[in-house]
Amino acid sequence: MPHFHVRVSTDDLVFSAAHFITLEGSTCEPLHGHNYHVAAEVHGPLGPDGVVIDFVLLRETLREIVGELDQRVLLPSDNPLVRLTTGPGEIEVVCGRRRWSFPRQDCLVLPMANTTAELLAAYLGRRLLDELESGCRVRPAMVRVRVEERRGISAECELGR
């Protein structure tokens, strides 16, 4: 029995964002940024029209999700080494001896322990599954999302229902 999947990896599936990660022990990277490139695969059976999912629907749904991360400072909400304090119009971030204060509207606090490419791929994959199922009424068997920090350096996450 054949297995089908479709993939989108277009030049408009990109976001630019700043982040830092904590490494083993208590090392905190300096704040830095990437121009991330995102690609996604959707696996599933063919529908009555002979497609797994419409390419345009997949690309547009992923583009909307990716757009939420664009031009933001990505901050982890679940990292025990990172303290986030929200004040009027700002977020103060403390990680070890590092301290930053960012305008609130420039930040995106994400439900993860670290803003690594791996966890960003998982976040985007969960969001994509949720959006396809709730907004588009498509229930993929599995999605695979790739987040590339720069050419040749990427992480992937597979998620199924």
Question: What's residue 139's pLDDT?
Answer: 79
pLDDT tens digits, one per residue of 142-156: 999 999 999 999 999
Q: Is residue 140 part of a domain?
A: yes
Q: Is residue 22 assigned to a domain? A: yes
Residue 64 covered by a domain = yes
Cβ neighbours of residue 148 under 8 Å, at least 6 residues apart? Answer: 36, 37, 38, 39, 117, 154
**Which whole number is the average pLDDT over 45-63?**
92
Q: 25 is in which domain, residue-wise?
A: 4-71+113-160
Position 128 in a domain = yes
Is 29 inside any structural domain?
A: yes
Query: pLDDT at position 3, please?
Result: 86
Domain count, the chain: 1
The answer to whether residues 100 and 82 touch, using CB atoms and an 8 Å cutoff, is: no
Q: What Å distances lie between residue 119 and 123, 135, 140, CA to CA?
A: 6, 23, 20
Neighbours of 141 (CB within 10 A): 14
Compute the half-sphere exposure of residue 128: CA atoms within 13 Å on the CB side of its CA.
Answer: 34
Q: Evaluate whether residue 63 is within a structural domain.
A: yes
Q: Is residue 21, in this structure, part of any structural domain at all?
A: yes
List pLDDT tens digits, range 71-116: 999 999 999 999 999 999 999 999 988 999 999 999 999 999 999 9
Average pLDDT, the chain: 94
CA atoms of 33 and 18, how far apart (whole Å): 4
% of the chain with per-residue pLDDT over 70: 99
- CATH of residue 37: 3.30.479.10
12 lies in some domain:
yes
